[in-house]
Amino acid sequence: MAYLFTSESVSEGHPDKVADQISDALIDNFLAFDADSKVACETLVTTGQVILAGEVKSKTYLDVQEIAREVIKKIGYTKSEYMFEANSCGILSAIHEQSADINQGVDRASKEEQGAGDQGMMFGYATNETENFMPLALDLSHALLIELANLRRENNEIKYLRPDAKSQVTLEYSDDNKPVRIDAIVVSTQHDDFGPEAEMLAKIKADIVAILIPRVKAKYPQYAHLFNDDITYHINPTGKFVIGGPHGDTGLTGRKIIVDTYGGKGAHGGGAFSGKDPSKVDRSAAYATRHIAKNLVAAGLCDEILVQVSYAIGVARPTSINVNTYGTSKVNLTDGEISKVVEGIFDMRPYFIEQRLKLRNPIYSETAAYGHMGRKPETVTKTFQLPNGEPKTVTVELFTWEKLDYVDQVKAAFGL
């Protein structure tokens, strides 16, 4: 029987994402000047205020206030009427040194035996329903907000947009689990107060349908056939949305974990990513399981897969590795047998994950909005600055866990 499935996304100006981006900017700056930094940094944003808290073990010293202000400015909170503005907001830092009790479980005389930074389970998922092996509803939700942010920055076709926004896409799937059409689209965008409420809402809805949707169809032609004249649109369904961002809703690091991963498809272990250095397996092992899942599906092993790994704090080797192919496997092996083969291909000890995916580099700011998974791997040059003005330029690879660099090994191991 046909069914509906929904995923949502939030923009870079959403208060929780503002917090994520500040936390990840701090991670990048620590790693840029000391690759061995251990960081767990949380951020809270509210009306005119940013609070930084967490634990750090690093040889470098940073101007955390300036870093936070630069992030806020880049997002677009640059006007006093937003009640949260880059140059005037208060910033309180309560960052302190990492617990020696935790650190002794992570650092080892032999780097290869580095222990997991925490216990827990992490999941990676992949499906062949899109070119980037991501669930389609989430991919479309991200695309809507990426284009909405582009329109805001261009300030050309639509001039009233403010940074905060959310999207949601509902897809209809056929009996054989294939997406066939978009059933509903929800877009809620913060905006200037530019007239009577009824007129504002009519203008915003008309612009979203006539300007945003065609841009998404043009930039993502692989999805164009899913758009139709029967889509139900809910545009700012609660009414006007002038008060938004951290003034409208307090933001916290790590509160958008489903937006960050697979939009409700697959599973989630519960651990957030932003603000954590790669010794925290909440982050690094989630990236590693995505890397495994994507390469297995790309190799033709199955149409869809969920990979789970689990750890004990301070212990290098995982306590379990498990896969679920949802009955779509193309090889004559049980999922348990597939798990054993996977274990032989990918070393899931934390040190080896860090090395394989080059995670001790300043690569995390780019992950903090529009999803950590399904993004395009690329090499970029970034410049960071110490409080004394000393710059450091580094060239890094972004989204290494999205590379299809193990497909040949997977094919060889499974005889594909």
- Binding site, annotated residues for L-methionine: 55, 98, 249, 280
Element (H, E) at 134: none
> Element (H or E) spanning 72, and its range?
helix 64-75
54: enclosing H helix or E strand: strand 49-57
Give CA–CA dist 102/105, Å, rounded.
Answer: 6
Query: CA 25, CA 362: separation in Å to the nearest integer?
Result: 9
20, 368 contact by CB (below 8 A) = yes
- 3-class secondary structure, 53: strand
Distance CA 190, CA 131 (A): 31
Are the beta carbons of 160 and 192 closer than 8 angstroms? yes
Binding residues for ATP: 14, 164-166, 240-241, 249, 255-256, 272, 276
Identify which of 283, 338, 279, 280 has the alpha carbon closest to the alpha carbon of residue 306. Answer: 338
Tokens of 387: 């409080």
- Burial class from Cβ neighbours inside 10 Å (0-12, 13-18, 19+) for residue 121 reads buried
List binding-site positions for Mg(2+): 16
* Separation CA 403–CA 356 (nearest Å): 11
Residue with tokens 């809805």: 205
Give CA angle at 301 (296, 304), nearest 5°.
Answer: 70
CA count, 13 A, side-chain hemisphere, 319: 13
Known binding-site positions for K(+):
42
Q: Are 228 and 182 in contact (CB under 8 A)?
A: yes
Binding residue ranges: 14, 16, 42, 55, 98, 164-166, 240-241, 249, 255-256, 272, 276, 280
How many Å apart are CA 306 and CA 298, to the nearest integer? 14
Q: Using CB atoms within 10 Å of the CB of residue 191, give its burial: 0 to 12 exposed, 13 to 18 middle, 19+ buried.
A: buried
Amino acid at 294: K
